[in-house]
Amino acid sequence: MSGAYSNVRVPEDLPLTDKATEFMKAAAEITVALGKGCRDIVRQSVVREDSYIARKLGKGSYLWRNIGEPFCERLGHNLSFFNQFLPEDKNPLHSWLVIFFVSLIAFSALKINTEQDTSPVLLMKKVYLHPPSAKLIVLPDGRYLAYKEQGVSAERARFSMIAPHTFLSSRLAGIPGLKASLLEEFGIRLITYDLPGFGESDPHPKRNLESSAIDMLILANAVGVNDKFWVVGYSSGSMHAWAALRYIPDRLAGAAMFAPMVNPYDTIMTKEERRGTWEKWTQKRKFMYILARRLPRFLAYFYHRSFLSGKHGQIDKWLSLSLGKRDRALMEDPIYEEFWQRDVEESIRQGNAKPFVEEAALQVSNWGFSLADLKLQKKQRGKGLLNWLKSMLTEAKEEYTGFLGPIHLWQGMDDRVVPPSMTDFVHRVLPGAAVHKLPYEGHFTYVYFCDECHRQIFTTLFGTPQGPLNTIAIDQALVEGDSREQEETEKQEEVIPGDPAKKS
């Protein structure tokens, strides 16, 4: 990996971010006070009921009834979806006026900071483009899909697992830090792959979660996974695992989910579940979700200024993550840093923002199914005379809908990236799922570089390790030699009619 960090000088006074934060708070308070003062002055001197302005432009005037009121109603309707993020005890009109002025000041300050900031900064490493290293398969539509294999071979695999990666990741991630010896001990074959447009996989012109599940199915068939396999979902990669449970359930043995992300706009979320999720996120991350849902094309601008800029930065800054102490300590570990930088380099190797915009938009858009569709429940018999006759003539069999296999969820209770409220929501909708709550664990600490954690996961899923399947390699030449000897023996013992030497 090329490049290196230079010496970092620490400023003697407060960091610039703290200064900017305090400045914005003070500016907001001054703006509120100034706005209230101006409002009172206008009310007392100008906008009286008997004034000329009130008579010509007030609520009872002709202009207000025909122009002002319809315009305000349309504007309020168009901006109403933002009101869910305001405090419930605040007047939306007053709040948005304050937000407008504060935003104007904040953007001005950020513009000045971008152009004139001369404070010492960390010299970041440049992104390095590595030679291609993936195995490839050709999909029916002509696209190439890149994948990686770990663990035992297909013939010796006792269990097969397929893991789609998270946002800003690649096939290289898998289960970070997972040792080959542990895979051998349990007889596991782990297959990871690049989502369309990531790493070395070709982009998909019209991808959705159903096409994602179909890609996974084709990959499994192409690499010789003949039996059912386990799907692994971590963080935002879980939506592809949910899609597999929905669209290819017959090929799945089960699902292992770690901090599983769901759509934060899911309509079946309760108000408490939605609030418990959104309040854990930073304001910038909330803003990025709003953009992904309403104006996804604008995300490309932010992506080109961060992870597509050609330089490495901090993942929590790029993705606007709020991290706990243990997660932050893990990120500062050189082992994690090197692993993550290599994974990011592979993820963005095509330099195209479109796959990332698609992935972000998929997260917050209509998935095409609900998690409630995965719930195991008895299939309702159809109504009508034909169904009644069918039930009378045939033996009644209980049929079920939903996913029949096991679903395991691991959730760190100090996770601020995927808050525990999301897993609580999943467990409410899918009560049959086994939830493993992890006290003091964050978003990364249980999954990344934890040998004991990986062993606990596999033991929970597969029980006592039994090693790979035993396959006996038989020498083909020896088999052919034994066959020839047997044929000669049978010819010698054969009785030929009319031959006196062969008669008893």
Residues 6+ apart with CB under 8 A from 436: 408, 409, 410, 411, 460
What pLDDT is recorded for position 31? 73
Q: Which residue has the higher pLDDT, 27 or 438?
A: 438
Please state, rounded to an integer, the average pLDDT across all residues of the chain: 81
What pLDDT is recorded for position 112? 44
Q: What is the mean pLDDT of residues 13-33?
A: 64
Q: How many domains does the chain have?
A: 2
Amino acid at 78: N
Q: What is the mean pLDDT of residues 244-270?
A: 96
For residues 371 and 408, membership in a common domain is answered with yes
Query: Is residue 22 included in any domain, yes or no?
Result: yes
| Euclidean distance between CA atoms 322 and 416, whole angstroms | 6
For residues 236 and 290, membership in a common domain is answered with yes
| Euclidean distance between CA atoms 83 and 81, whole angstroms | 5
For residues 207 and 331, membership in a common domain is answered with yes
For residues 229 and 317, membership in a common domain is answered with yes
| Euclidean distance between CA atoms 50 and 263, whole angstroms | 53
Q: CB neighbours (10 Å) of residue 424?
A: 18
Side-chain-side CA neighbours of 277 within 13 Å: the count stands at 23
Query: Is residue 313 included in any domain, yes or no?
Result: yes
* Model pLDDT for residues 399-431, shown as the tens digit of each residue: 667 899 999 999 999 999 999 999 999 999 999
Query: Is residue 8 included in any domain, yes or no?
Result: no
φ, ψ for residue 222, nearest 5 deg: -70, -30
Residues paired with residue 146 on neighbouring β-strands, in sequence order: 136
Query: Is residue 337 included in any domain, yes or no?
Result: yes
| Euclidean distance between CA atoms 371 and 362, whole angstroms | 15
Q: Which residue has the higher pLDDT, 79 or 27?
A: 27
Query: Is residue 271 included in any domain, yes or no?
Result: yes
Query: Is residue 353 included in any domain, yes or no?
Result: yes
SS3 helix, strand, coil % of the chain, rounded to 5?
A: 50, 10, 40
Among the three residues 82, 116, 150, which one is the final residue of a domain in this structure?
Answer: 116
Residue 316 belongs to domain with CATH number: 3.40.50.1820
Residues 6+ apart with CB under 8 A from 128: 1, 2, 3, 345
Among the three residues 52, 83, 116, which one is the final residue of a domain in this structure?
Answer: 116
What pLDDT is recorded for position 319? 81
Q: Which residue has the higher pLDDT, 493 or 68?
A: 68
Residue range(s) defining the domain that contains residue 410: 135-380+399-462
What pLDDT is recorded for position 79? 59
What pLDDT is recorded for position 394? 62
Q: CB neighbours (10 Å) of residue 308?
A: 17
Q: What is the mean pLDDT of residues 40-55?
A: 60
Task: Say which residue the tokens 């703290």 belong to.
Answer: 18
Residues paired with residue 378 on neighbouring β-strands, in sequence order: 400
Q: With a cut of 80, say whether residue 239 has pLDDT above it.
A: yes
For residues 140 and 103, membership in a common domain is answered with no
What pLDDT is recorded for position 281? 92
3-class SS of residue 162? strand
For residues 58 and 140, membership in a common domain is answered with no
Going by pLDDT thresholds of 50, 70 and 90, the confidence category of residue 76 is low
Query: Is residue 436 included in any domain, yes or no?
Result: yes
For residues 75 and 106, membership in a common domain is answered with yes
For residues 71 and 170, membership in a common domain is answered with no
| Euclidean distance between CA atoms 244 and 214, whole angstroms | 8
Q: Which residue has the higher pLDDT, 238 or 479?
A: 238
Query: Is residue 35 included in any domain, yes or no?
Result: yes
For residues 168 and 108, membership in a common domain is answered with no
Amino acid at 91: N
For residues 100 and 157, membership in a common domain is answered with no
Among residues of the chain, what percentage have pLDDT more than 90? Answer: 57
Segment of 132-146, 272-286, 325-339 carrying the highest mean pLDDT? 132-146
For residues 326 and 279, membership in a common domain is answered with yes
- Give whole-number Cα distances, 298 to 33, 118, 131, 236, 304, in Å: 34, 28, 31, 20, 11
- Residue pair 131/184 in contact (Cβ under 8 Å)? The answer is no
For residues 194 and 278, membership in a common domain is answered with yes
| Euclidean distance between CA atoms 228 and 348, whole angstroms | 32
- Residue pair 422/239 in contact (Cβ under 8 Å)? The answer is no
What pLDDT is recorded for position 318? 78
Q: With a cut of 90, say whether residue 458 has pLDDT above it.
A: yes
Q: With a cut of 60, say whether residue 380 has pLDDT above it.
A: yes
